[in-house]
Amino acid sequence: MPSPDLSDQLKQFVSRSINSVEQLEVLLLLKRDAQREWTADALSREISTSRYAAEGRLLDLRARGLATFREDGQLLHFRYLAGADDAVVTELAAAYVERRTSIITMIFSKPNDSIGSFADAFRLRRPPEQK
């Protein structure tokens, strides 16, 4: 159960934009040093994950409007993109330090869309003429 002292805006942001603790930590790392550019390789070494996972997290943050990138030949260099959600990301960074368990609980208590989609594929349905 999310902590009642966390703002509704923060809860909605986590529900809408954060799918894993790793994704949260990537976002907060980018936010902490907003002018630094990260490649997937550099990020993977920094947070001890695979290059593939790091690149996926960076691309997802870009798709959500939380990161931007520039191309340099074959490499993509990502950095934090301050935007409409900047204040709530700042609030989230502070809450993650002070209320880490509450934030992690919020992330893990979200319904998993991919599991639901997979389960829906096996749901028995009546043919249209029997409804």
| Calpha distance 102→31 (Å, rounded) | 20
- The CATH architecture of the domain made up of 8-109 is Orthogonal Bundle (1.10)
**Is the CB of residue 53 less than 8 Å from the CB of residue 41?**
no
Average pLDDT over every residue of 7-33: 95
**At 61, which amino acid appears?**
L
Q: Quick one: pLDDT at residue 111?
A: 73
Q: How far apart are CA 25 and CA 62, in angstroms?
A: 15
pLDDT in tens, 45-85: 999 999 999 999 999 999 999 999 999 988 999 999 998 89
Give the model's pLDDT for residue 40: 96
- Annotated domain spans of the chain: 8-109
